[in-house]
Amino acid sequence: MRGQSPGKGNMKKLELVGSKAAPFYVEDCALEGVKKIVEKVCHDVELVSGKRPACISPSGQTETEAVLVMTLGHSELVQMLSGNGKLDTK
């Protein structure tokens, strides 16, 4: 899925990449509620596109493109990306 700005704001439009939906990367340390919501969003993507995105964890496969699901204050990935200057959390 590639992000394209549909208009104002920071909202991104999700698109299929090739013939499959990009996977959702969810850390093992994610809150249980976040994991449930990701499953629901993956189901919605499947209803709209006919392709169900995989939900992968750090121990899972590596993809070139993925939807990152992170929670500030609970994510090691957020801390790493922020510390490397690749993510602004302010």
| Cβ-contact 41, 72 below 8 angstroms | no
Question: What is the pLDDT, as a whole number, of residue 9?
Answer: 47
Token readout for 61 is: 């496969």
pLDDT of amino acid 14:
56
pLDDT tens for each residue of 15-65:
555 667 888 888 888 889 999 999 999 999 899 888 899 888 766 566 677
pLDDT at 17: 58
Q: Which string of b and e fits 37-60 if b means at least 16 CB within 10 Å?
A: ebeebbeebeeeeebebebeeeee
pTM: 0.66
Least confident of 3-12, 47-56, 61-70: 3-12
Q: Which helix (H) or strand (E) holds 82?
A: helix 76-83
User: CB–CB of 83/72 below 8 Å?
Assistant: no
CB atoms within 10 A of CB 70: 20
pLDDT at position 39 is 93
> Beta-strand (E) ranges in 10-53?
24-26
Residue 10: what pLDDT?
Answer: 44
